[in-house]
Amino acid sequence: MNEIYEEVVEKLKSVKSLSDLDTLKAEYLGRKGKIRKLFGDLKKVDEAKRRELGRKLNELKSALEEAFNKKREELLDQVEPLDPSMPGESWYGVGTLHPIYIVANRILNVLESMGFDIGEGPEVEEEYYNFEMLNIPKYHPARDMQQSLYLNNGKMLRTHTSPFQIRYMLKHKPPLKAATFGRVFRADEFDATHSPVFHQIEGLAVDRNISIGDLKWTLERIVEELFGKDVKVKFLPSYFPFTEPSMEVSVFYKGKWLEMLGCGMIHPKVLENVGINPEEWSGYAFGIGVERFAMVKYEIEDIRMFYENDIRFLEMFKSERWI
């Protein structure tokens, strides 16, 4: 019995893992282990000696259990404790967010922080919302500004996100502030600067004393978020049937004035169309071309880069802030 004990103590010295420990323990103390076998052998011993040997065997069993437990504690102490204050592994590069979404998320975050309600509108739209309600009647020349794609069920693919304004104002009473992000469709060429599918962000606000100053302040915050605090912004007169006055915003970036978006004060007729009294309420609206923002910000010369999903292009945005 002493030999067995010494043998185990010796073998335990070279045990390095919990699984090795379990294997060794089973060899001695398991159901088919050496100790169990010795207990079985007790039958063969004279009755006079059996009692004595049985007691000793029990002592050996306890001593071995103790030795195994001690070794287990030792091994557990060696496992390095988890330090939750260690810096985590970087997850950049596991995947990337598409540059269109990076830019859109940043703009939407600014709007959300100002209390804009972020909503959605359908891509398959009624002419009524895409045009009529926005003060673009049939045969109005402004319809030619946007080459529309019609479906054979009488509906169309929205040419801009502006119908969101109508849908939102029909559902919500002023004061209101809302924005949406989504795809728009036009029967356009597919070349370096045109795509038949692209993305817009539409925003609108209606309240009792909304002015061009509010519009200007809001758009300046958006431009700043992407192009920095020192960027110069200017507002130029323009024309859209659903705003009066209408403006274009240009940004002076990397030595050039670049036209970035359209905006204006919501036309009184549009407010009337959705049952809002233009004598009591005023509002502004703006439409941002997300590709346009992304192309200027990241100096991308060809709009087709966004849709080809070339992994080398997408990987350029690995280290960008995601939101």
- Interacting residues with ligand DAH (CB under 6 A): 160, 162, 202, 240, 243, 262-264, 285-287
Cα distance from N-terminal residue to C-terminal residue, the chain: 70
Please state the closest distance from residue 317 (CB atom) to ligand DAH, in A.
Answer: 25
Nearer to ligand DAH, 101 or 242 (CB): 242
Nearer to ligand DAH, 243 or 282 (CB): 243
Please state the closest distance from residue 280 (CB atom) to ligand DAH, in A.
Answer: 20
Please write down the HEC assignment for all residues of the chain: CHHHHHHHHHHHHCCCCHHHHHHHHHHHHCCCCHHHHHHHHHHHCCHHHHHHHHHHHHHHHHHHHHHHHHHHHHHHHHCCCCCCCCCCCCCCCCCCCCHHHHHHHHHHHHHHHCCCEEECCCCEECHHHHCHHHCCCCCCHHHHHCCCEECCCCCEECCCCCHHHHHHHHHCCCCEEEEEEEEEECCCCCCCCCCCEEEEEEEEEEECCCCHHHHHHHHHHHHHHHHCCCCEEEEEEECCCCEEEEEEEEEEECCEEEEEEEEEEECHHHHHHCCCCCCCCEEEEEEEEHHHHHHHHHCCCCCCHHHHCCHHHHHHHCCCCCC
Nearer to ligand DAH, 125 or 202 (CB): 202
Chain residue whose CB lies nearest ligand DAH:
287
Please state the closest distance from residue 237 (CB atom) to ligand DAH, in A.
Answer: 12
Nearer to ligand DAH, 96 or 130 (CB): 130
Please state the closest distance from residue 161 (CB atom) to ligand DAH, in A.
Answer: 7
Please state the closest distance from residue 202 (CB atom) to ligand DAH, in A.
Answer: 6
Nearer to ligand DAH, 244 or 320 (CB): 244
Whose tokens are 């009591």? That residue is 280
Nearer to ligand DAH, 226 or 247 (CB): 247
Whose tokens are 């940004």? That residue is 251
Helix axes 290-298, 212-227, angle to 10 degrees: 40
Nearer to ligand DAH, 12 or 178 (CB): 178
Nearer to ligand DAH, 202 or 291 (CB): 202
Please state the closest distance from residue 159 (CB atom) to ligand DAH, in A.
Answer: 7
Please state the closest distance from residue 130 (CB atom) to ligand DAH, in A.
Answer: 10
Please state the closest distance from residue 264 (CB atom) to ligand DAH, in A.
Answer: 4
Q: Tokens for 152?
A: 């054979």
